[in-house]
Amino acid sequence: MFNLEILSQAVKALFTNKLRSSLTLLALVIGVFSVLVSTTAVAVLDNYFTETLSLMGSDVVTVQKNPAIQLSGNTDKRNRKRITFEQAEELEERLNYAEGLSPLETFSMTKIQYEEKETEPNILVRGSNEYYIYNNSYEMEVGRNLSAEDVQYARSVVVIGYDIQTELFPSLDPINKTLRIDGRVYTIIGVTAKKGAIFGDSFDDYVLIPYTTGLNAYGGKRDIGIQVRAPEITGIQKAIDELTGVLRVIRAVSPEDENDFEVVTNESLSGSFDVFTSALYVGGAFIGLITLLGAGIGVMNIMLVSVTERTKEIGIRKAVGATKKAIINQFLAEAIFVCQIGGVIGMILGIGAGNFLAFVIDASVVIPIWSVIGSFMGMLLIGVIFGVYPAFKAAQLDPIESLRYE
């Protein structure tokens, strides 16, 4: 449809009226930028969430009192009975298929002291049993994990996260060293390997003590979470069904009543996040399309002005034999060219700005291919739709009247 001569004329026309072309480009760039920056940022979040879920056990089922994602107004769920350590112990005795039950409780957020050194007062003191490490996809770097005996006898032992080791023991073996936590002394028995962070919150700034030791130190009557594992990934639903049925009996939930607890898996978390990201995608695309519509109207206005200014040129071209098709192709090429230039600039800026979020949260860089292709095709469509009318208007001009135009 277009040849090099027509393209050359389009480039020349673009640079002939720099101010007008710049304003048109600006509107197009803003439109494409608004689409790409939103879709890229959401893609970064989506990718980051997927990577984070991979750090958690895919075969693990978590039970907790409240939903993982809470909406305002759910007062009935906030008034649910606590899930207690006693219920966790009874549940462990009754389960036949699901295995590796571990209670989840954060007893304190405090500083950790070793001799004259101490951490910031933001270290989580978690209480659980020997299955916590495996259920949360940690690995032991040195030393050993908690044992059933540590829990049974409420021993004052602790497994520390990687961040604690690097801060308090940069050049020392921490095993068998003693820490002071909220005024109590604990012996280090192990260190977990580095796991990473999400949204700047590290998975490694914690210490793990037997939950029985935590009850002695911080008191009982707590609302906890419970984790169990399915023996195999295909048995997740079977584990959920068993866990739900047994816990309903333990918590004396009537057959006609709904569960008074939440069952959470990686899949359910992913589904909830997908709904959230889908809404962001739609919202960003809608805003971008409105902006692009305005930019397209601007392209049409600019092209109409260009037709008026070049009326005499059009008359001369027709006088020397230019066909209507050639005139249409020229003006249509100019409209498409300016749209594609604006689209490319908007894509580069949008993807760059969207991936700035990846830099902030230390995530992988994402290039949303479908958004890039969609933006390219969208700008082509806008160039055609909003350029066709000015192009046809130019082609319909009378050559004699055009030559007389001043």
Give residue 26's identity as a one-letter amino acid code. Answer: L
Question: How does residue 61 score in pLDDT terms, banded at 50, 70 and 90?
Answer: confident
Q: How would you write 191-224 as a 3-class SS string?
A: EECCCCEECCEECCCEEEEEHHHHHHHHCCCCCC
Residue 36 has pLDDT above 60, yes or no: yes
Residue 72 has pLDDT above 60, yes or no: no
Give residue 304's identity as a one-letter amino acid code. Answer: L
Most confident of the following: 245-254, 269-278, 283-292: 245-254
The secondary structure element, H or E, covering residue 108 is: strand 99-110
Interval 340-385: pLDDT, tens: 888 888 888 888 888 887 777 677 788 888 777 877 787 888 888 8
Cα–Cα distance for residue pair 209/364, rounded to 1 Å: 34
Residue 18 has pLDDT above 80, yes or no: no
Residue 269 has pLDDT above 60, yes or no: no
Question: How does residue 200 score in pLDDT terms, banded at 50, 70 and 90?
Answer: low
- The total number of residues shown for the chain amounts to 406
According to DSSP, the residues that pair with 125 across neighbouring strands are: 108, 207
DSSP 357-384: HHHHHT------HHHHHHHHHHHHHHHH
Q: Reduce the DSSP state of residue 231 to 3 states and report it.
A: coil
Residue 131 has pLDDT above 60, yes or no: yes
Q: Which is higher by pLDDT, 90 or 232?
A: 90
DSSP state of 20: H
Residue 306 has pLDDT above 80, yes or no: no
Question: How does residue 185 score in pLDDT terms, banded at 50, 70 and 90?
Answer: very high
Cα–Cα distance for residue pair 68/32, rounded to 1 Å: 35
Percent above pLDDT 70 for the chain: 83
Residue 70 has pLDDT above 80, yes or no: no
Residue 14 has pLDDT above 80, yes or no: no
Cα–Cα distance for residue pair 352/41, rounded to 1 Å: 10
Q: Point out the least confidently predicted range of 27-31, 39-43, 396-400.
A: 396-400
Percent above pLDDT 90 for the chain: 32
pLDDT at 51: 63
Question: How does residue 114 score in pLDDT terms, banded at 50, 70 and 90?
Answer: very high
143 close to 159: Cβ distance less than 8 angstroms: yes
Q: Which is higher by pLDDT, 194 or 287?
A: 194
Average pLDDT over residues 156-160: 96
Q: Reduce the DSSP state of residue 102 to 3 states and report it.
A: strand
Average pLDDT over residues 103-113: 93
Whole-number average pLDDT of the chain? 82
106 close to 121: Cβ distance less than 8 angstroms: no
Residue 55 has pLDDT above 60, yes or no: no
pTM above 0.75, yes or no: no
Cα–Cα distance for residue pair 294/119, rounded to 1 Å: 55
CA-based torsion, 105, 110, 114, 117: positive or negative:
positive
pLDDT at 123: 94
Residue 274 has pLDDT above 80, yes or no: no
pLDDT at 310: 72
Q: Point out the least confidently predicted range of 61-75, 101-115, 232-246, 256-270.
A: 61-75
Q: What are the distances in angstroms from CA 19 to CA 14, 130, 302? A: 10, 70, 11
For residue 225, which phi and psi values (nearest 5 degrees)?
A: -110, 165
Hey, how many other C-beta atoms are within 10 angstroms of the C-beta on 11? Answer: 15
Q: Point out the least confidently predicted range of 153-162, 169-178, 198-207.
A: 198-207
Listed in sequence order, the residues at least 6 apart from 314 whose beta carbon sits closer than 8 Å to its beta carbon are: 307, 327, 394, 397, 399, 402
Average pLDDT over residues 218-225: 87
Residue 4 has pLDDT above 80, yes or no: no
Residue 271 has pLDDT above 60, yes or no: no
Instruction: Kindly list the domain boundaries of the chain, sorted by start residue.
Output: 4-52+270-404, 81-260
Nearest to 181 by CA among 129, 252, 113, 234: 113
Question: How does residue 207 score in pLDDT terms, banded at 50, 70 and 90?
Answer: very high
pLDDT at 56: 58
Residue 117 has pLDDT above 70, yes or no: yes
